[in-house]
Amino acid sequence: MKTAERSFSTISGVPVDPVYGPDDLSALDPTRDVPAPGEFPYTRGIHRDMYRGKLWTMRQFSGFATPEETNRRYHYLLSQGQTGLSVAFDLPTLMGYDAGHPLAEGEVGKCGASVCSLEDMEILFRGIPLGDVTVSMTINSPASVLWAMYLAVAEQQGVDWSRLSGTLQNDILKEYIAQKEYIFPPRPSMRLVTDSIEFGARHTPRFNPISISGYHIREAGSTAVQELAFTLRDGVEYVDWALERGLAIDDFAPRLSFFFNAHSDFFEEIAKYRAARKIWALLMRDRYGAKSERSAKLRFHAQTAGCSLTWQQPNNNIMRTAFQAMAAVLGGAQSLHTNSLDEAYALPSEDAVTLALRTQQVLAYETGVTNTADPLGGSYFLEKLTLDTEEAANRYIRQIDDMGGMIPAIEAGFPQTEIASASYRYQKEIEAGERIIVGVNRFQSGDHPPELLQIDESAGQHQEQKLAALRQRRNQAQVQKTLDALQRAAESPTENTMPYLLDAVRAYATLGEICDSLRKVFGAYQETAHL
């Protein structure tokens, strides 16, 4: 193809010039915009020595079938050199239903581990010292319930909460925007999130009570700029609610963490992470008057793009993931998940997840990219792209401010429609052959499906049997008492629900029972579908 016929743009559709030079950076003030790594506004990274001081945490998102099977996988991953855990829960758990609920039929253990009660959480972390291993939990609408279970397991292990380190995803806004695993309407959900941020500020100083996530926004088909802007604007919303609760900015902002996608457009992704740090630092200082350096430092986890994985020629996914992981590292990620080659098909097999972990280890120990902080800083192209990304994201942020914040924007369907349009545009480009996906619309050949992890219906039966035995064994009067107390606390908007959730899980009330108590008070949310 002749160059004249091709258009050159990033994967998000931002035009790219043939070459960049000093003239492109006339708006850039090096001391203000890109000082040394570790210096405000942290465009070049939050640490002076970056990965020389500490490598990123290699944290593979993992969970399937029963807590027993997932616990075995965790022991395996830790034995292979993984440095943190990340729990995937199944859909019934994410939606606050126990195994055996009619809506859970066929879904137990399919997309993650099923956790129905404290008993399951005990099994999930059997033999894993929670004082030493950091744990991330991907759970949102019922996040505070699962967190209460986790805190109760730490108690049983004799680990003081102040020693616990890890992350609760707990980002409900992006559920309404993108992933759609919500239970309650936005405002009561925000109250639950604020309860956990407040509780965390008082009791778990090393735990991140929220991971404000762009990952799922991107997976839903957004552009890089939309991912960045909607995520940071969600962050603003959480900050506003916590301040409204009476917390001081520097008492909770240092524990806000972020989670971004690592998609295929190498430079666009690196620019996105650099712009994210800069925008957040400026928001913290200028919008909120944060004084603590730690409040202004945006820390993030990255995961390679699940939506970029192809069903066709699945081995190609190994290379896609490796390039994406390198972008995350060159962008200064604090922790990283690399997808497995078979994830366009199913949850990963043990062999596939081992290869994905090895990809991170090769990156960390063989490529040399960890030797110096922000090695691409000063590149004309990257600095220009960082500035442009920042400006475009700020435009969206102002637009949402003008709508009255993220909740009115969600209710108006604004981010949802923006994402759906971007996703449709991208798909049309692939259809038209304007965007090439190797093995899908060019260079096709026969496909060889990988050996897949099989999860059958026995996980559901096992979970139901365990629940039935638990209901026989526990003190039913105590369960009812804690559920009634929780319901009363939920009815009183000034009460923090966390202590009541802890009492309920300690009495072995199930996830479904606890969420039903909250559903009675908060109601269930139904979205208007925006095409």
Partner 1 sequence: MAPPIRVLVAKPGLDGHDRGAKIIARALRDAGMEVIYTGLRQTPEMIVNAALQEDVQFIGLSILSGAHNAIVPRILDLLREKDMMDVKLVIGGTIPDQDAESLKKQGVAAVFQPGASLDSIVTFIRGSAAN
Measured N-to-C along each axis, helices 67-79 and 350-365 cross at an angle, to the nearest 10 degrees, of: 30
Which residue from 307, 318, 403, 412 is in contact with partner 1, where contact means CB under 8 A? 307
The only residue of 310, 361, 379, 487 in contact with partner 1, by rule CB under 8 A: 310
Figure out which of the listed residues 33, 98, 107, 268 binds partner 1, where binding follows CB under 8 A.
107
The answer to whether 49 contacts partner 1 (rule: CB under 8 A) is no
Examine residue 441 and tell whether it contacts partner 1 (CB under 8 A).
yes
Contact (CB, 8 A) for 74 and 128:
yes
d(CA 241, CA 194): 7
Nearest CB to partner 1, comparing residues 160 and 431 = 431
Other Cβ atoms less than 10 A from the Cβ of 448: the count is 9
As measured in angstroms, the least distance from the Cβ of 411 to partner 1 is 15
Q: Is 35 exposed, middle or buried (0-12, 13-18, 19+ CB in 10 A)?
A: middle
| 19 scored as a contact of partner 1 (CB under 8 A) | no
From CA 180, how far away is CA 250, in angstroms rounded?
A: 31
**Site mask for partner 1 (CB under 8 A), range 202-231, x = bound:** -----------------xxx----------
451 touching partner 1, by CB under 8 A:
no
Distance of alpha carbon 186 from alpha carbon 407, whole angstroms? 7
Q: Is the dihedral of CA 426, 432, 438, 444 positive or negative?
A: positive
Q: Return the residue of 121, 212, 346, 514 that touches partner 1, per CB under 8 A.
A: 346
Phi first, then psi, for residue 87 (nearest 5°) are -90, 125
- Rounded to a whole number of angstroms, the minimum distance from the CB of residue 185 to partner 1 is 15
Q: Residue 457 — φ and ψ, nearest 5°?
A: -75, -5
Q: Distance between CA atoms of 189 and 201, rounded to whole angstroms?
A: 19
449 binds partner 1 (CB under 8 A): yes
Span of 128-136, 342-350, 370-378, 381-389 interacting with partner 1 by CB under 8 A: 342-350
106 binds partner 1 (CB under 8 A): yes
Residues 13/17/19/22 CA torsion (nearest 10 deg): -100
Sign of CA dihedral 187, 192, 193, 199: positive
Q: Is 113 in the site for partner 1 (CB under 8 A)?
A: no
Q: How far is the CB of 102 from partner 1 (least distance, A)?
A: 8
- Around 387, how many Cα atoms within 13 Å sit in the side-chain half-sphere? 17
Range 453-472, binding partner 1 (CB under 8 A): 455, 457
Give residue 150's Cα distance to chain centre. Answer: 18
Q: Smallest distance, Å, CB 353 to partner 1?
A: 17
Taking CB under 8 A as the rule, which mask of x and - marks residues 66-105 in contact with partner 1?
A: -------------------------xx-xx-x-----xxx
Comparing CB distances to partner 1, the nearer of 165 and 179 is: 179
What is the footprint of partner 1 within residues 159-188 (CB under 8 A)?
A: 175, 179-182
Binding residues (CB under 8 A) for partner 1: these are: 91-92, 94-95, 97, 103-107, 110-111, 175, 179-182, 219-221, 307, 310-312, 344-346, 420, 423-424, 427-428, 431, 437, 440-441, 449, 452, 455, 457, 526-529, 531
